[in-house]
Amino acid sequence: MALFAARAVAYRLRDRDYELGQLLDRFLGGIRGGTCGAGLALGLALAPLLCCHPDDVARTSAGAFAIGFSFAMLISFLSGAAWDMAGKVDAALIPIVLGTLPISILAPTQEGSDGFRHRIANPGFEDSTGSY
């Protein structure tokens, strides 16, 4: 939310001092790009932590990225359709907000895998199969 507020300030500044507004806008774009890159790295790093068996990592990663990219394409399509139907760019935000609701509601209710808890509690421990 702070990035959205700073973005609004950048647009207001652009009317008064064009160069300062542009500089702030580019800086905020860099921060947004860095946070998206960090999110991608976390997405890649979480699968090995959440899986109980090493053979499940590839399937879990593939499933997560397939769902994530499919959802991104669907939201892009729906946002464009909402914009076309309403005729205002603000309408494109409605599918984005609606798409975050299921994630925001369901994420706190999910329990982590036992393998993840076990590895955190006992680092370096391996069972008889050679896996965690």
| Residues 16 and 46 grouped into a single domain | yes
Domain that holds residue 17: 1-50
The answer to whether the beta carbons of residues 65 and 44 sit under 8 Å apart is no
d(CA 51, CA 117): 11
Q: Kindly report the pTM of this predicted structure.
A: 0.54
76 belongs to a structural domain: yes
| Residues 67 and 32 grouped into a single domain | no
DSSP string, 45-113: HHHHHH-SSTTHHHHHHHHHHHHHHHHHHHHHHHHHHHHHHHSSGGGGHHHHHHHHHHHHHHGGGPPPP
| Residues 61 and 78 grouped into a single domain | yes
127 belongs to a structural domain: no
The residue from 50, 75, 91 where one domain ends is 50
126 belongs to a structural domain: no
For residue 20, CA distances in Å to 3, 16, 34 come to: 17, 9, 21
96 belongs to a structural domain: yes
| Residues 72 and 28 grouped into a single domain | no
122 belongs to a structural domain: no
Residue 132 pLDDT grade (very low, low, confident, very high; cuts 50, 70, 90): very low
Per-residue model confidence as pLDDT tens digits over 66-125: 888 898 899 999 999 999 999 988 888 899 889 888 878 877 776 655 555 555 555 555
In the chain, the number of structural domains is 2
The answer to whether the beta carbons of residues 36 and 19 sit under 8 Å apart is no
| Residues 43 and 19 grouped into a single domain | yes
26 belongs to a structural domain: yes
